[in-house]
């Protein structure tokens, strides 16, 4: 059985969703915390339907595949891990991991994100139905991060009527405007 148990946010057999050096990403006994009910549509594993498109003024356009894991362990927080690979040469690209919190009794949402590039960010925004719209609240980076530095990020997740998840990420670098950087659509894989 490969259906998703939405109350737990885990595949029917959670021990199958493992990484060799980690324990299972889902707790087989944890019930979904009621604070997360409005976000249960995110839970599970999503894989790019077709390669996503990436571009920015300082780099050549590229295509990428990505896998998203949204899970929980019964706390009022969603855990996430995003892994992207270049669509042509399959080399690893960006990695993001962190937590999603929702304001109790409200629709304000916070993404707490650590990226493999050395960027750490907090994005905050609103949940409207099955759409999350997020903007930079705080950024920090390693002292030796590559320049130019990211100054602002905006992200929109939307569950479409066809059941696919769509993500658009915009970014602004030092002295530049906010511009679309990434766009990708995912299908639920478990």
Tens-digit pLDDT profile for residues 92-132: 999 999 999 999 989 999 999 999 999 999 999 999 999 99
| Confidence grade of residue 14 (pLDDT, cut at 50, 70, 90) | very low
State yes or no: pLDDT of 3 exceeds 60.
no
Distances (CA, A) of 26 to 16, 102, 129: 10, 19, 25
Q: pTM of this prediction?
A: 0.84
Per-residue pLDDT averaged across 145-169, rounded? Answer: 95
pLDDT tens, residue by residue, 22-48:
445 555 668 999 999 999 999 999 999
- In the chain, what percentage of residues exceed pLDDT 70? 85
Distances (CA, A) of 156 to 18, 24, 49, 100, 130: 28, 28, 17, 14, 11
3 state SS of 15: helix
- In the chain, what percentage of residues exceed pLDDT 90? 76
What is the pLDDT, as a whole number, of residue 91? 96
What is the pLDDT, as a whole number, of residue 25? 53
Q: Are 112 and 97 in contact (CB under 8 A)?
A: no
Mean pLDDT of the chain: 88
Per-residue pLDDT averaged across 52-72, rounded? Answer: 94
What is the pLDDT, as a whole number, of residue 12? 46
Return left, alpha or beta for 90; rule: phi > 0 is left, psi -120 to 50 is alpha, else beta: left
What is the pLDDT, as a whole number, of residue 28? 60
Strands (E), the chain: 4-5, 10-11, 44-48, 52-56, 59-71, 77-86, 92-102, 108-115, 119-128, 131-141, 150-159, 165-173, 179-188
3 state SS of 34: helix
Question: On the CB side of 99, how many CA atoms lie within 13 Å of its CA?
Answer: 7
What is d(CA 4, CA 148) in angstroms, rounded to the nearest whole number? 41
């Amino acid at each position: 059985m490969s259906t998703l148990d939405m109350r737990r946010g885990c595949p029917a057999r959670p021990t199958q969703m493992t990484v060799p050096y980690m324990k299972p990403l889902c707790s087989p006994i944890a019930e979904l915390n009621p604070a997360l009910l409005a976000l249960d549509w995110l839970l599970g594993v999503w894989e790019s339907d077709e390669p996503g498109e990436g571009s920015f003024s300082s780099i050549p356009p590229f295509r990428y595949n990505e896998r998203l894991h949204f899970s929980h362990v019964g706390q009022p927080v969603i855990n996430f891990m995003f892994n992207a690979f270049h669509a042509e040469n399959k080399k690893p690209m960006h990695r993001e991991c962190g937590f999603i919190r929702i304001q109790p009794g409200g629709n304000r949402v916070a993404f707490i994100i650590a990226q493999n590039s050395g960027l750490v960010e907090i994005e905050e925004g609103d949940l409207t139905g099955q759409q999350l719209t997020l903007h930079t609240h705080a950024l920090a980076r390693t002292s030796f991060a590559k320049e130019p530095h990211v100054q602002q990020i905006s992200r929109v997740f939307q569950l479409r009527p066809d059941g696919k998840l769509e993500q658009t990420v915009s970014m602004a670098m030092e002295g530049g405007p906010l511009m679309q950087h990434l766009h990708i659509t995912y299908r639920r894989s478990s």
